[in-house]
Structure 1
Amino acid sequence: MSTAPSYSPPPSGAAAGPLPAAAARTPLRLFLTILELAALGVIGSGLVGFLTAWLFGGVGLLFVGVGIVMLVGLVYALFGLGWFEIARLNGLYGFDLPALRWRPRERPGFGGWLLSLWRQAYNGRMWRAIANFAIACALGSMVLRLMTWFGWSAVTAFAPLFTGGDVDTGWGTSYPRAWAPVLGGAGAAAAVVGIISLALLHRVISRGIVATPDRNLDLSEQVRTTTAQRAGAVRAADVERTRIERDLHDGVQPRLVSVGMTLGMAQQKIDTDPEAAKALIAEAHTSTKAAITELRQLARGIHASVLDDRGLDAALSALAGRSPVPVALDVRLDGRCSRDAEAAVYFAIAESLTNAAKHSRASECRVVVRKRDGGRLWARVEDNGIGGATVIAGGGLDGIGNRVLAAGGTIRLDSPVGGPTSLEVSVPCAS
């Protein structure tokens, strides 16, 4: 729940307090804007030309294969340029815009990387930042020309001090030296007005292109994310239901059937052979306790109650204590995240440790959990097994991916043949 901020009027005589500081910041910011535009006018135009040549060179060399590498590198270069432009505007104007981030992978492996690269190539926010950079370079070139004009006008204004005749304009004409102070002063003033106007125009353009969000793009991104999360949630629920059915059918159900048959045999022998009946009842009692243990583990796999009661750190400690593979646990969290985020990370770690025990032949595992900048819960599970893990529909890794996707997170799997296997998940804390 959010509340509207409240403001109380300042006491008499205090209202003018912040104005001098703001007034002092405005000329400084304007001066810094002019300097940055001048710098962009010097180096930015060359950079834009270089990137344009890079683009056409990559397209021209596509038929020999080198162009593909060049275009991939160009996407990364454009991403870096867009990131720099947003950081520059934040530092100059204090827009407090979120940093440009690379589009996360939605699938592991090479195909997931290609998809994230393609999604980044048409990232509207990146292209708006690049467009703003190109416009700033053009404005910077104009600022440099006006600075040159200002210098020439200033020199002209003092021409009567060092010339005795008419003043040469440099274009094959001249005018009386008495006009020089007026024309030079007017030219210098016009240049200053033009430079300041370009600096103010740069702020307006930057606010319109970069600082103002594109509502249509934002809505499209929200719809895409919501659709993917819903599909992941449905798929995760289906995989979880299949797992529960399999565990019940293959584990608890046969054991309970066996208990029933054993008790039936004991009932038949209780009159004729009491000792054998007692042994059968003891066997049924042992099987019943084993079935209860399996049901408890199955329920814990659905949801760990300790996760709600004591948090992710305690739940993972209990999980590591039950793991047949030794686990080195490193959890550093400064507070709780949402229930969905903690449950998704817990499930991913639990399933990864189960896979390591069943398939990887690992002798040790390492689990690292952190809360990272941007309000994301990040975890990494690594084992020293044989590697070669792949995502199979309906399998454990598929369940992890769908569970994490449903929570709005991302997953990254790295499992070369021969090992080691590492799994990284990142989930928004407020998911």
Structure 2
Amino acid sequence: MATEYGRQGYVSPGERRHRLPAALRAPFEARSWREFGYVLLSLPIAVVLFSWTVTMVALGAGLLVTFLGIPVLAAALASCRGFGALERTRARALLRLEVADPEPLRMRRPGGFAWMGAVLKSGTSWRHLLYALLQFPWSLFSFVVAVNFWAYGWALLTYPLWFWVFPMYAGQGGLQLYGDEHHRVYLDNPFEITVTALVGLLFTLATPWIVRGLTTVDGLLVRGLLGPSRLSARVVELESDRGVVVDTAAADLRRIERDLHDGAQARLVSLAMDLGLAKEKLREDPQAAARMVDEAHGEVKTALQELRDLARGIHPAVLTDRGLDAALSSVASRCTVPVRVEVDLPARPAAAIEGIAYFTVSELLQNISKHSRARSASVDVWQAEDRLMLQVMDDGVGGADASRGSGLAGLAGRLDAVDGVLVVDSPAGGPTRVIAELPWRS
């Protein structure tokens, strides 16, 4: 089963404003000039960074026979980290490349020796050093290519405006294309001048895209060597997910405690009091006592039903015994609109994933009952490679938005804690389609 997202045929206001194709307006766009400026600045910065790094590393390596080599190497790596901060800022300003800062140094105790050890053991420091060594040859190549294409392109394009300089001041007919002792070829007639300008136009139109390709490599270097490593980013993500899981578990415990305190516990306390009164009246007024016992019997039934609902909210027995198909059919039967349920799974996923899938669909169906004003809904569950896919649709009024801090945002956070994804497609007027994707983990 495949689902398409997007609004076909939609054209943004920015796209409507542009009358010229991207290839023709690229030489005049601010982005092209920012990228060209980035390439121009890269060479002098790379020369300074490369010279400083090579000098300090060579000095530190030479002094390793004494203790002085260690602080020199640590200073070299620390300076590379400082240059890295400058490069991230420059990429953010000129390339609009958002690169997060790498993980800070981890020191078990304060002090100079601890700092040197942390710098030398940090993989981030050595990646910054590698950037300093690789950036210089690449910046030199980028500078030569970009400047030559840019200069020759604009010079040839504007040749009809300045070719008169040659016969007036240089004593020759125009720009010399070829020359030896016996023969010289000048670009001096209208046809040759026009062809020269057209060649310059091609160079000028191609230059922004060439520079963009060069700065793409720069962006890869900055992102790969100066940003956080994949391992550290994953650690941060897992720490964040762990916080979400802890907060969710605490919220669930508070909800269970509140439901017990305000629901079943209150009824049981009232039931105990009623039975106590009935016991006192049993000899004096047996009929009144019988009525009170009958009322208490009704309270017992209500308390039992509340406890069943609470237990179902914690983990329904039907899910454990019969799987998602029966459990989702059960929760769909309690929805206020007709719900079609289709579960196509070759096997049962992991119990934890199965539980998250159940509560995800349950909460989405509750939202449909409360807010959608729909006439019908559907639930589809299937496996796509190593992912469990859920799709809940309704024909209601739409307008659901997970970015507003609603229950959908909390649901998205819960799914994200287990490497899941929640996608909401709910235009105003409907219909609403919610896709949840979970790892299979059988």
TM-score, structure 2 normalization:
0.47
Larger relative contact order (Cα-Cα within 8 Å, sequence gap ≥ 6): 1
